[in-house]
Structure 1
Amino acid sequence: MPPWSAAPAGRLDEHVIDSDALRGNPLGDPHERPLEVYVPPGYDEEPERRYPSVYVIQGYTGQLPMWHNRAPWRPTFPELVDRLFANGEVPPVIVVYVDAWTSVGGSQFLDSPGTGQYHTYLCEEVVSFVDARYRTLASRDHRAISGKSSGGYGAMVTPMLRPDVFGALATHAGDALFDVCYRPHFPKVARQLRDSYDGSVEAFLADFRGRIAGTRETDFALIEQYGYAAAYSADADGTVRLPFDDTGDVIPEVWERWLARDPVLMAARPDHAEALRSMRAIWIDAGTRDEFHLDFGAVAFRRAVEAAGVADDDVHFELFDAGHRAIEYRYPLALAWLAERLTP
């Protein structure tokens, strides 16, 4: 793999969205956000043709430019997307790369008084922006969402919350089964908070924001748990509640707020089960060596989807030999599968 890009077969457009939903967000993060839209080969030559769309969202700490970071001997995901559609064997779709970064590392693509209105931003503003400017098939039956890790979480919960917007999904190692993927980390984080900051979240945040991020060993683990709490368990006034106490044990009333956002448990609720049954396609996969045990989350979500009454023919489930990272080669497989099912 050469360490530079070849001329693309399609076109990648760069935009900036001025978001009303994110204006005045509690973290003071920018309300103007980058957006990239890929149109497949032939888009400009067939001005009457309309296309399905797939919205791609990122994992925790994901920022839009990171899609273009190149690893040795491996193409970037946008390059893989272009290759997928270059030979004409896969039905063409418009691919939308969404930015939902926050200064605490992510938003989980939810509306929260701790981070901002990122669910509204995605479902109302980003989708309408794309539909107004591109020849999409502007219907939930021809619109999917896809992501990995926290992006995989967003890909699971967004269609359950807004089945009128998204009619298909692909989740790669998405955050699910919170008792398994999140809870085991709480004692370690509580110890780090105690030993480095005398148990004070405020002291950690002041230190973290006052220097180069990542220069202390504890940085990522602490900001990650705080970021999740900002999405799952922030009070109406913006106060962020961690789900564990100084011993690392869960605080039941706060942990229940997290569990209410667990895709596995959400899928059992009648309205969300109905939303899942309405999906045209559901792709679920994860690596068998996932460091966060999200392979177990994938299995649990697959079972929850089955229990909700989704037909087997509408679901692709797969565990593959890999860890959590460097699985971008999986994304085009799901994208091709979604394209087949979203195309009229």
Structure 2
Amino acid sequence: MRKSIFSWMISALILILSPNFALAQTAFPDHGRVLEVKVPAPALKGNLVGTLSVQNIAIYLPPSYDLSKDSRYPVIYLLHGIFDDYGVWVENFDVPKILDRLIASDEIPELIVVMPNGGNRYGGGFYRNSPVTGNWADYIADDLVAYVDKEFRTVANTAARAIMGHSMGGYGALNLAIKRSDVFSVVWALSPCCLVPEEDLSFGNDAWRRAAAIENTEDLRKLLEDRDFYPIALLGIVTAFSPDLHAAPIYGDFPFDIVRGEIALDGEVLDRYLDQFPVRQIRGSRESLRGLRGLGMSVGLDDQFLHIPSGTLEFSQELGKERVPHRLDVYDGDHRELVEERLERTAFPWVAERLALTE
């Protein structure tokens, strides 16, 4: 008996003194790491608002990534809101720490999270294809996904790929769910903007007149310098939803004229404009939406942007009419204050549960 105890102690001492012991001790680190890299974006070439065709992204790699060289991981693409960049996820909403906690507690599997930039001079391209602002949907679904699958150890198939976003990014996630379900199989939109053109997004908002009053590059320069939020954001919407290559300097086709100071709607342009909003696109996309592994949304009833709660509820109702399975979480809160909590308690676990973990 004494001999076996002594032998065990010697073996333990050899293990501790072994050069491989440090590796054994660090085999399960308790946090991931974030890389910042540049990604070619050929889909954005030729845009008219000066957006670069090489884009910055941040990418979260899970704790075992550097030590488990044969492991592959599902991927979540996380889209930010208007006038933000990926720093909002890393610095404001603490996404890396949220992921570390969820992985450490086994609430989600280890996964990769990709956080691209989606901004431009008007606050953002709304992750849509536009000849004016660039083909943002193609950049995310084609350029970026191909880059990530090539450069990182991903589970490179649709079933292992999700798209999420907040505000403009929530709109972008739903837009990509509608248009690119061949790439993304799970979707979650937090407080998605721009699902329906009503409330503060309607033509009753005087900011439409200020946006439409831009006549030359000097007017545009002054508006951008003044940082007048709504008119600039509406220029972003017009150039993404209703682009016009012949309408300098905005290159957007406003669905109205100003007649004696009042808005007079242009029926033909208005129909084309309204058809770009997701609530009108559900019926034509219902089969692909039904095929998703998961579609979820969350919205705070006290959102400062009044079209967001009403638009999210209307979008959910239309999904229901077309028998598209989905989850809707409604809570007391405004546009930004509970984003971290909703990500940690609901969105990340729900999305991760629906992702395939292997090829």
Judge same fold: TM > 0.5, yes or no. yes
Say which one has the larger Rg: 2
> Which residue is 1:319 aligned to?
330
What is the aligned counterpart of 2:37 among 15, 38, 48? 15
Please give the alpha-carbon distance, in whole angstroms, between the structure 2 residues aligned to 1:253 and 1:147: 32
Partner of 2:73: 51
Task: Identify the residue that residue 221 of structure 1 maps to in structure 2.
Answer: 230
What secondary structure sits across from 1:89 in the alignment?
A: coil
Query: Quick check: 248-257 or 151-160, which moved more?
Result: 248-257
Residues 1:181 and 1:164: Cα distance change in structure 2 (over 3 Å) = farther
Which residue of 160, 166, 169 corresponds with 2:178? 160
Residue from 241, 244, 260 that aligns with 2:253: 241
Contact 2:32 2:96 in 1 (8 A): no
- Listed as ranges, the gaps of 5+ residues in structure 2 are 1-28
- Paired AA for residue 188 in structure 1: D
Identical aligned residues as a percent? 30
Using the TM superposition, give the Cα deviation of residue 168 of structure 1 relative to its aligned residue in structure 2, in angstroms: 1.1
Q: Structure 1 stretch 148-157 or stretch 42-51: which is displaced more?
A: 42-51
- Structure 2 counterpart of 1:331, from 335, 339, 343: 343
8 Å Cα contact 2:304-2:334 kept in structure 1: yes
Cross-structure match for 1:304: 318
Residue 302 of structure 2 is aligned with which of 286, 289, 311? 289
Which whole-Å CA distance do the structure 1 matches of 2:200 and 2:266 have between them? 14
Task: List per-residue Cα deviations over 1:25-74 (Å, max 9, x = no partner).
Answer: 2112222211111111222232222211110001111212333444xxxx
Q: Assess if the C-alpha contact under 8 Å between 2:108 and 2:348 holds in 1.
A: no
- Match of residue 81 from structure 1: 99
1:40 is matched with 62
Distance in structure 2 (CA, Å) of the matches to 1:83 and 1:201: 52
CA distance in 1, matches of 2:97, 2:275: 37
CA distance in 2, matches of 1:90, 1:177: 29
User: How many corresponding residue pairs?
Assistant: 319
Question: 2:274 corresponds to which residue?
Answer: 259
**2:52 is equivalent to residue 30 of structure 1:** yes
Q: Kindly tell me: are residues 287 and 237 of structure 1, through their superposed partners in 2, closer, same or farther at Cα, counting changes over 3 Å?
A: same
Sort the Cα spacing of 1:185 and 1:148 in 2 relative to 1 into closer, same or farther, 3 A: farther
Matched AA of 2:272: R
Q: Secondary structure at the match of 1:15?
A: strand
Shift of 1:207: 1.4
Following the alignment from structure 1 to structure 2, what is the Cα–Cα distance between the partners of residues 181 and 335?
30
Could you tell me whether the CA contact under 8 Å between 2:163 and 2:186 is conserved in 1? yes
Question: When the two structures are superposed, what TM-score results if normalisation uses the length of structure 1?
Answer: 0.85
Conservation of the 8 A alpha-carbon contact between 1:176 and 1:264: no
Aligned residues: CA RMSD? 2.2
Query: 1:107 corresponds to which residue?
Result: 125
Q: Give SS of 1:291's match.
A: coil
Contact 1:190 1:245 in 2 (8 A): no
Shift of 1:193: 5.4
Q: Distance in 2 between matches of 1:186 and 1:229?
A: 16
Q: TM-score, normalised by structure 2?
A: 0.82
- Cα separation, 2, equivalents of 1:185 and 1:21: 31
- 8 Å CA contact 1:193, 1:201 repeated in 2: no
